[in-house]
Amino acid sequence: MAAETLVDDLWGRYPPADAGGALQSLVSRLRKALGPAAALELSGGGYVLRIEPDDVDVHRFERLAAQGGRELTARRYADAAALLTRALAEFSGPPLADVTSAPFAAEIVTRLSERRLVVLEDRAAAQLQLGQHAEVVAELEEVGERYPLRERLAALRLRALAALGRRSEAFDLYERVRATLADELGVDPSAELREAHLALLRDERPEPPPARAGTVQLPARLTSFVGRHTELTELAAMLAEHRLVTLTGAGGAGKTRLAVEMAERHPAHSQGRVWFVPLADVVASTDVRAAVLRAVESGVATNMPGFGNGGFDRLVDTFAAGESLLVLDNCEHVIDAVAELAHALLTRVPSLRILATSREPLAVTGEALCPVGPLDLPADELVPDAVTGATGEVARDMDLAEVGRSSAVRLFVDRGRAVCPGFTLDEDTVGPVVEICRRLDGMPLALELAAAKLRSMGVSQIAALLDDRFRLLTSGSRVALPRQRTLRAVVEWSWDLLDERERVLARRLAVFSGGVGVSAATAVCADETVPERDVAFLLGALAEKSIVDHVGERCGEPRYRMLETIRAYASERLVESGEAEDVRSRFIAHFLSVAQHHDPLLRTEGQLEAFAVFRTEYDNLIAALRLSLDIRDADSAYRLLLSLTWCWALLGVLNQREDFFSEVLALGEAIPSRARSALKVYQVSTATGRNPPGPEELRTLIDDCFRTGAMEEYPPLAVTLPALALLAGDEELLERELRRALSHPDPWARAGVRWVEALILEDKGELAEAQRVRELALRGFEDTGDRWGKAITLSMQAQSHALLGEYAAAIERLDAGVALAEELGSRTYVVQLRLLAANQEIRAGNFAAAERRLDEARRQCAGEAGQLLDVFVQLNAAYLAERRGQVEQAHRCIDRVAGQLDSLGFLGELFDGLIEINRASLLLAEGKAAKAREALVAAMRTMTSRPDRPDLATPAELLARLYHLEGDALRAAAALGLSEAIRGAFDRGNPALRELVGLLTEELGEQAYTAAYSETARLSKPDAVRRLVEQTSAQRLR
């Protein structure tokens, strides 16, 4: 493929400045990712990738889909279903999910999405012929709702429902599809759909598949099967490829139910050659073979302690009679005997496949493991952190439909309705339901036990009582196995299978709240009972037994996570052991050491590795801080807090942490004066309350830092203190702090203060000097290796280009900033920079590109800063709608933002003026002068009373548009001059202003326009602001 084609496909209309170099960099990364097995070669000005077609999942999918289609045509339905299932298993999500925004992707995504639907329909057609009607209904229900106009899909659902005797549902489905086709397309149903409807009217049902020799003995299903459809597809593909598959996972994960569902879908099921063997009640390993024979030969050898070769031979003969599936359920307590039998049977019977469930692998040659984890929880971006179900505080903008697609939520709601028919997911219940699902790890059995409590208490009460989960969740099914009737029994069964040293390590691991690596586990848990050299092996053993989950490699070592329910049980055991105080002290000491070592590295070329450690250990660091406060360990608490502060700044959540600063400062004189001074400054910087500090308080805080020498010990203060001096309005203090910071021994601090100085110069309207200082800041950040500093400085450069109308240059710098922020892993700054780039796309008239960038930003608005970021997303969406002429949509976006402000505290007050600015702009675009005037007056009233230094050039520009709308061209020209005097430059990139200048020049003549504009543009900034305030007062604008 030619290099030019690759550049066009990857970047479209906005290639990077050095497109060739950028392409070569991507090719280099691709080579590393592919490894030596794939040959990526430069040839004739382009690149050739020499690999086998089956190395690419798309090609594998196409091959399997074609083979399955041929088998379907040949009426070999079992083979068709198996092949098509394997084809669908190649999808792990939406096609090309990581590159959907690339120009080349749209056509391919559309083709693959359509092909995937066709394959899904083909498989359903095969399954109908195999008599798997319930499976078809379950699999196609969600897809059918998403594609209501897809007639073949509807016809298949119709036939499946009819075969199950659910005729009323089938009639309802047909009517919905018919009405939708008529309303949206103006067409009648297709012949295929009409034929399915006619068969329904005649009550024609398909002939059942012919009976086959053998029996199927699977547990009867008493409840609906919720979620796990993706796992079913993957499991089917594994069983097609491997002869022994073991479902592993913690107790209560749903392994048995998944195995039963898979057995019903397996081709051997239609032949009557599936056997289910429950082993939970088998006490002795010597009884395993007898239990299997009892399941295969009902009534034979029911009392067989002397099971011998005769019984084994009968098993071999039975399984060898045709394709067979043996399900061995709950193997963990007789694991050795099960492994021995499985190996013996598989060796003797080539036509046999075994599906086992166990809390640990069988460890047999050829075994494929299929981990069964929790059900999927609602995505973070759908659930703002403000949602706390226990107190009933629910974010009104939660997407109920999206939250309801979570399989954990669907399971809880489904089981809840079974015991409380009126229960539903709505604005009042969604918060508590999400909290229950999250705190119970999405584990099916725990969720079912919690849902059963709806018989006697409300959902908010259940969420509130989860701190005592083992006492709460005790009322399971009376006919369930004893170890599945209570949550405690589920965990105790697994705990009792551990040896003594495994139990010691497991209870000590309970102190970790955010996962654990080998080095941390060794530092906190090792002693003479659990020697350092054994920790890694014991962690592996706990993972094998599903006490902890191996969650991959982080920071160069394996990492493990303990489910919250198991952790709660282990915490009880830790307290009972008498070790809790010592283990918690070691935990605090270890993570204090981690934080203090990596905090300075956040401002060096080692930033990526350090930030990765903070992100990986974030929950543990917070837990260590919380523990140190609980035991009033002032020394550890203040050191941890100061070491976390810059990490929070990079994450964009510093304003969320005011409570920690208050709690640590409450420890008083136990904290050294230098640290107290720094903490008070950071506390002010995080303030989200309703009482921002006044000038005198700010001066006192700055002087305390000066007196104690806090800045020298804590370099981030070099950025913070000059900014506070600016807010204090004290020019002399500001100059002093700038001089002090510029003499700081830390090169990062000097670069940071240059960045602040550039902001201050821009605020004064001294743009040329600001540009010079900004270049110094950028070089300083480059020298220290700080990607955050480079990203925010590039965003300042972009704003300079934006004022000149140089959109491409502005977007290029913002994209470079996005790349740096993504490399760092700072989602907040990624979103902020994406939004700035979207704004430039809007100004340039590239509305489709702007919408894509807004969608990307919206998807990333999650976590603690998500609500604040969503405000910016909505305001940009309002601006995009305004520029497109979509007035009602723009108003909805603005109104939504206005409804969010109360939950943002002091920060919400800062947005009041910005909302009115956006509202005024929209009203001016509609030609509503009176309402626009009211909004502008409200904006100025708010903005001039704020403690920070808001941008008042934008209100001046709106004033110019208002004067022109009212027919006063001279005053409009003068107001535009005010905007230049305030900002230091006219915004040539604003399309509305460019249009306004053209109209004013035409109406006044160029000479008169220039005179009126220049008169006010020559004013000093303070004089220009005073005149703007006068002209936007309520009295003057009436």
Answer whether residue 121 shows pLDDT above 50.
yes
Secondary structure, 3-state, 206-227? CCCCCCCCCCEECCCCCCCCCC
- Across 15-24, 404-413, 925-934, 966-975, least confident range: 15-24
DSSP string for residues in 722-753: HHHHHHHT-HHHHHHHHHHHHT-S-HHHHHHH
pLDDT for 68 equals 87
Answer whether residue 397 shows pLDDT above 70.
no
Residue range(s) occupied by CATH 1.25.40.10 in the chain: 57-201
Answer whether residue 693 shows pLDDT above 80.
no
Region 906-928: what's the mean pLDDT? 84
Answer whether residue 1009 shows pLDDT above 80.
yes
- In the structure encoding, which two tokens stand for residue 848, read together? 């489709």
Share of the chain above pLDDT 90, in %: 40
Answer whether residue 35 shows pLDDT above 70.
no
Give the 3-state secondary structure of residue 635.
helix
Tens-place pLDDT, residues 251-305: 888 888 889 888 888 888 877 788 899 888 787 878 888 888 887 875 333 333 4
- In the structure encoding, which two tokens stand for residue 825, read together? 């892993």
| CA separation for the pair 236, 325 (Å, rounded) | 12
| CA separation for the pair 625, 179 (Å, rounded) | 60
Share of the chain above pLDDT 70, in %: 88
Q: Can you state the percent helix, strand and coil of the chain, rounding each to 5?
A: 70, 5, 25
Tens-place pLDDT, residues 1024-1036: 999 999 998 854 5
Tens-place pLDDT, residues 715-738: 999 999 988 888 887 888 888 889
Answer whether residue 614 shows pLDDT above 90.
yes
**Count of beta carbons in the 10 Å neighbourhood of residue 421:** 8
pLDDT for 851 equals 92
pLDDT for 407 equals 84
pLDDT for 49 equals 75
Of the candidates 477, 436, 441, the residue with the CA atom closest to the CA atom of residue 566: 441
Answer whether residue 867 shows pLDDT above 80.
no
pLDDT for 387 equals 34
Region 776-790: what's the mean pLDDT? 95
Q: Would you put residue 268 in left (φ > 0), alpha (ψ -120 to 50) or beta? A: alpha
Give the 3-state secondary structure of residue 253.
coil
Answer whether residue 986 shows pLDDT above 90.
yes
Tens-place pLDDT, residues 802-861: 999 999 999 999 999 999 999 988 888 999 999 999 999 999 999 999 999 998 888 877
Residue range(s) occupied by CATH 1.10.10.10 in the chain: 498-576
Name the phi and psi angles at 352, rounded to 5.
-95, 140
Confidence of residue 1016 (pLDDT cuts 50, 70, 90): very high
Answer whether residue 898 shows pLDDT above 90.
no
Answer whether residue 984 shows pLDDT above 50.
yes
Confidence of residue 27 (pLDDT cuts 50, 70, 90): confident
Confidence of residue 214 (pLDDT cuts 50, 70, 90): very low
pLDDT for 909 equals 62
Answer whether residue 596 shows pLDDT above 70.
yes
Give the 3-state secondary structure of residue 950.
coil
pLDDT for 780 equals 95
The architecture of the domain spanning 498-576 is Orthogonal Bundle (1.10)
The C-alpha R_g of the chain, in whole angstroms, comes to 33
| CA separation for the pair 5, 104 (Å, rounded) | 10
Tens-place pLDDT, residues 78-87: 888 888 999 8
Region 416-425: what's the mean pLDDT? 84
State how beta strands 557-561 and 549-554 pair: antiparallel
Contact present, 434 and 389 (Cβ < 8 Å): yes
CATH topology of domain 57-201: 1.25.40
Secondary structure, 3-state, 21-69? HHHHHHHHHHHHHHCCCCEEEEECCEEEEECCHHHCHHHHHHHHHHHHH
| CA separation for the pair 880, 874 (Å, rounded) | 10
Confidence of residue 45 (pLDDT cuts 50, 70, 90): low
Residue range(s) occupied by CATH 3.40.50.300 in the chain: 216-371
- Across 138-147, 167-176, 229-238, 944-953, least confident range: 944-953
**Count of beta carbons in the 10 Å neighbourhood of residue 93:** 8
Answer whether residue 393 shows pLDDT above 80.
no
pTM summary value:
0.69
pLDDT for 396 equals 40
Confidence of residue 425 (pLDDT cuts 50, 70, 90): confident
| CA separation for the pair 218, 232 (Å, rounded) | 17
**Count of beta carbons in the 10 Å neighbourhood of residue 386:** 16
Confidence of residue 168 (pLDDT cuts 50, 70, 90): confident
Confidence of residue 222 (pLDDT cuts 50, 70, 90): low
Point out which residues pair with 217 in neighbouring strands.
275
Give the 3-state secondary structure of residue 927.
coil
pLDDT for 404 equals 79
Region 969-986: what's the mean pLDDT? 94
Contact present, 738 and 775 (Cβ < 8 Å): no
Confidence of residue 206 (pLDDT cuts 50, 70, 90): low
Answer whether residue 1037 shows pLDDT above 80.
no
pLDDT for 390 equals 32
- Across 98-112, 248-262, 504-518, 868-882, least confident range: 98-112
pLDDT for 512 equals 94
Average pLDDT, the chain: 84
**CATH 3.20.20.150 is right for the domain spanning 216-371:** no
Point out which residues pair with 43 in neighbouring strands.
46
